[in-house]
Amino acid sequence: MGGGLRDLLTPRGDRVIFWCWLALCLMSLAVLWSVTEPIIGPYENVDPGVPKSIFWRQMMWAIVGYVGLVVASRVPLRHIDNLAAIPWLVSLFLLLLVPVIGPVISGARRWIVLGPVSLQPAELGKVSCIILNASLLARGIDSQRKSLATGASLVLTVIPAMLVLKQPDLGTSLVFGAAWVAMIFWFGMPGIFLLVAATAAVSSILMFYSEAVLHQPWPWGAYLLVLLGLLYWVRWSIPAKVTMLVVNLFSGIGIPIMWGQLKGYQQDRVMAFFKPAEHAFSSGYQTIQSKVAIGSGGLFGTHYLKGTQKGLAFIPERQTDFIFSVVGEELGFVGAVFVIGLFFVIVIRGVDHAAKVRKPFSRFLAVGIVAYLTFHVVVNVSITTGLMPVTGIPLPLMSYGGSNLLVTSAMLGLLLNVSSKSFDD
């Protein structure tokens, strides 16, 4: 009986992914303990500014996350496929409920408070969207109606993403799109679609740079002239050329409209990325202090519990969005590479499992989970190192927060489920 119970409490699937999950959770607890400790040295009387309770809460959520990981790794995937619409509908209901009963915290409504527990429905929305899209795409992959499956998955992704954007939470809303693009690419997105999307992104960036940064129209205008020349030169059909030109025009023209819809603090964060000196003591302060902390860590760091940027509270949100800055300061380049390496191993093995598994639902599910994890890690690390504007994206399994830890653990449990192929028959 003891062996049976032990097996029941042990997740199935790729052991390497499980050990990476465990290592990241332990790293998170170690860093959060450091964040809540007074600095060791001549400043040891300085209040850390972060209560010790967040360490104990994260430990509790790590235990709950382990349960979620085990359950997700053992539930037959065919049941998840058949019931894929239910979690999506639940998350949609909760997202609609947020602006009605959610408290305003730091100028945003993102949580539903249930006694001592705060839940962020956007986290459930991400995993439910991935599951539903995997189910839709799996049913459409062998049919003649691929475009219908693609369109339906896009609509079902945009709806929760727009609700999250209205909270407002720009960073989290982008996660929905990133996972969808990866899954559609695996589904068999035509190369021309990818090219159109890439050029539209370039058009948007150049229009923003022209309007908001330079206040001169020539960069976007020069880009359109180059695009016209390329379209004249390539041997495409007239409809394909017109489509690419129209998409680029609308993506550029739409940027000023979208820019006007952003909140003031969101605009300031973006402008701080392009003009950091002008925002050094306001919206650009977080990024500057984060870069100072990571740079001061050097190769091996200032050593555990001895980070001055962290200890003197120079790094804002050091327990959540900027926890990687604490890793870089106290554990140095070696510690930062170790953390990124753990994520890299999970991603590589996840892609390998997606390529090998036979069931289409399992394949798309694995791709969506890998895309979710990759987007979070790349964006968070880029923000803390000053390579991207601040958007409020947590580092999965590392940043303090129960909803993200539980959802990420459950996602990795599903990835373990796919890797085990136990129900792939």
CB burial readout 160-190, b (16+ within 10 A) else e: bbebbbebbbbbbbbbbebbbbbbbebbebe
Question: Of residues 327 and 281, which shows the higher confidence score?
Answer: 327
pTM comes to: 0.87
Q: Which residues pair with 105 in a beta bridge?
A: 108
pLDDT-based confidence at residue 423 (cuts at 50, 70, 90): very low
Q: At what angle do helices 238-261 and 191-208 cross, to 10 degrees?
A: 40
| DSSP codes, 311-332 | HTT-STTTTTTTHHHHHHHHHH
Residue 8: what pLDDT?
64
Contact status, residue 361 vs residue 138, Cβ threshold 8 Å: yes
Residue 1: what pLDDT?
45
**What Cα–Cα distance (Å) separates residue 165 from each residue in 109, 118, 172?**
11, 19, 8
Tell me, yes or no, whether 255 lies in a domain.
yes
Tell me, yes or no, whether 425 lies in a domain.
no
Flag whether pLDDT at 411 surpasses 90: yes
* CA atoms within 13 A of residue 18's CA, in its CB half-sphere: 20
Tell me, yes or no, whether 273 lies in a domain.
yes
**Helix intervals (H) in 210-322:** 218-233, 238-261, 264-274, 285-297, 308-311
Tell me, yes or no, whether 381 lies in a domain.
yes
Tell me, yes or no, whether 189 lies in a domain.
yes
Each residue's pLDDT tens digit, 266-323: 777 777 777 766 666 666 777 888 888 888 888 888 888 887 776 666 777 888 888 9
Flag whether pLDDT at 191 surpasses 70: no
pLDDT-based confidence at residue 45 (cuts at 50, 70, 90): low
Domain span at residue 352 reads 2-420
Residue 388: what pLDDT?
83
Helix (H, G, I), strand (E, B) or coil at 112: strand
Domain count along the chain:
1
Residue 346: what pLDDT?
97
State CA 182 to chain mean position distance: 13
Flag whether pLDDT at 422 surpasses 50: no
CA dist., res. 136 & res. 156, Å (int): 10
Tell the burial category of 44 from Cβ atoms under 10 Å away from its Cβ (0-12, 13-18, 19+).
exposed
Flag whether pLDDT at 16 surpasses 90: yes
CA dist., res. 310 & res. 304, Å (int): 11
- 282's CB contacts (< 8 A; 6+ apart) are 268, 272
